């Protein structure tokens, strides 16, 4: 069996990932690494009006998380001097997940 996480993900994260302080509710924070990205998404309404929204994501290696810990909605992280909240976790397979981030807590709405 091919270990894609070791052969592919590890070298990519060694080049592109940056440090992240990650915290789950009511647990002490821990260090992980992630690849930060943000993009503008076009939104078109049925009446022809258009606008854009920004989607902020962080790709993480699940092997960087402590044993038996997985990223989850509502988790908090410190990255680039800002606090972000995990809105959604999209498992990519092969040891990676994309975390969809928001500057607002899911509890705040």
Pairing type for strands 76-79 and 82-93 reads antiparallel
HSE on the CB side for 27, CA within 13 Å?
17
Task: pLDDT tens for the chain, 109 residues: list them.
Answer: 888 888 889 999 999 999 999 999 888 999 999 999 988 878 888 888 888 788 899 999 999 999 889 999 999 999 999 999 999 999 998 899 999 999 876 655 5
Q: Which pLDDT does position 41 carry in this prediction?
A: 79
**Per-residue three-class SS string for the chain:** CCCHHHHHHHHHHHHHCEEEEEECCCCCCEEEEEEEEEEEEEEECCCCCEEEEEEEEEEEEHHHCCCCCCCCCCCEEEECCEEEEEEEEEEEECCEEEEEEECCCCCCC
**Distance in angstroms (rounded) separating the CA atoms of residues 9 and 70:** 17
Task: Give the pLDDT confidence score for residue 2 in this predicted structure.
Answer: 84
Rounded to 5 degrees, φ, ψ at 62 are -65, -25
pLDDT score of 79: 94
pTM: 0.84
Q: Which residues contact 13 (CB under 8 A, 6 or more apart)?
A: 33, 35, 61, 64
């Amino acid at each position: 069996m091919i270990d894609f996480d070791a052969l592919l993900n590890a070298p990519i994260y060694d080049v592109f990932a940056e440090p992240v302080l990650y915290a789950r509710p009511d647990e002490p924070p821990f260090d992980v690494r992630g690849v930060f990205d943000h993009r503008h998404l076009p939104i078109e309404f049925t009446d022809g009006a258009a606008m854009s929204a920004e989607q902020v994501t962080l790709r993480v290696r699940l092997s960087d998380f402590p044993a038996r810990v997985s990223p989850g909605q509502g988790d908090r992280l410190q990255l680039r001097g800002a606090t972000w909240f995990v809105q959604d976790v999209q498992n990519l397979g092969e040891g990676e997940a994309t975390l969809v981030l928001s500057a607002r807590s899911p509890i705040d709405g």
